[in-house]
Amino acid sequence: MSDWDKHTERAKKAFEELRDDICAEFEAIEREAGSDASFNYSPWERVEEGNENPGGGVRGVMKGKVFEKVGVNVSTVHGNFAPEFAASVNGASAENPGFTATGISLVAHMANPHVPAVHMNTRFLTTGKAWFGGGADLNPPIPYNEDTADFHAAFRAACAAHNPTYYERFSKWADEYFYIPHRQCHRGVGGIFYDHLECDDDPSFERNFAFTRDVGRTFLQIFPQIVRRRMESAFDDEDRQRQYEWRGRYAEFNLVYDRGTLFGLKTGGNIDAILMSLPPIATWN
């Protein structure tokens, strides 16, 4: 096993541990609401012709009283990009299309319109280069300044612990990335987004791995606080309609612009896992 294979295995285990902790916390919230909802886990295997070890993952989904639909996926895949897609991936090319990728991806759509939906993802890839990416962004149908401020403050602190430039860079990147050009609006109130934190050697791997783990742990710390703050708020049909229309915007972004959706489809990922980001109910008027 090469050093980079060992690094991939370490990242994979960290993402699986984060998944287990997040799912346990979300199930605890359901218990507090009087629900016995739990995650249902579905393993899947990737198929690639001529590849004896293409990898796969586990798709976890829960539908409950607080979480109308939440998916938490962990996957680790190995193989070759299609030549036309390889040119668009950092460190890959038609001549060198090989890759390994491991990551966790989470999207939560909430039952109460006053509770924000959320997305979180962290990942480690190796091609001709090796790098981490990820982030988290808050997507409230009905925004509250307190929730937005607390979410950003948590990630600002996480970034500051590693690099004083990270929060400004990565929050700006999130604002630019999570934008719907054809609607001329953002899909939420932002967060952080980063990619291509390259690992040239063991020290840079350790540094970027530590930051990426903190991103996941920060999400686990702050998002449940916001859920508990809002999950018993009263709402009416007008609030629900606002939520459904906002979900339509969310679906548009994920189907038209999201890199993760494209990456999954181009690399033979599990379709249900890729499209778990879509809301259970949305409307377009």
Say if residues 239 and 271 touch (Cβ distance below 8 Å): no
199-205: long-range contacts (C-beta < 8 A, 24 or more apart)? 199/7, 199/130, 199/131, 199/132, 202/3, 205/7, 205/130
> 3-class SS at 59?
strand
Q: Give CA–CA dist 241/45, Å, rounded.
A: 38
- Count of C-beta atoms within a 10 Å radius of residue 203: 9
Q: At a CB cut-off of 8 Å and minimum separation 6, what does 116 contact?
A: 110, 138, 139, 140, 141, 143, 147, 188, 189, 226, 230
- Measured CA to CA, the distance from residue 269 to residue 262 in angstroms comes to 10
Minimal CA–CA distance to 102: which of 143, 139, 44, 57?
57
What SS3 state is found at 109?
strand
- Which residues are CB-contacts of 198 (< 8 A; sequence separation ≥ 6)? 129, 130, 131, 204, 208
Give catalytic residues, as residue numbers. Answer: 119
Alpha carbon distance 230, 250 (integer Å): 21
Q: Which two tokens stand for residue 68?
A: 């109308």
CA–CA separation, 59 and 80 (whole Å):
22
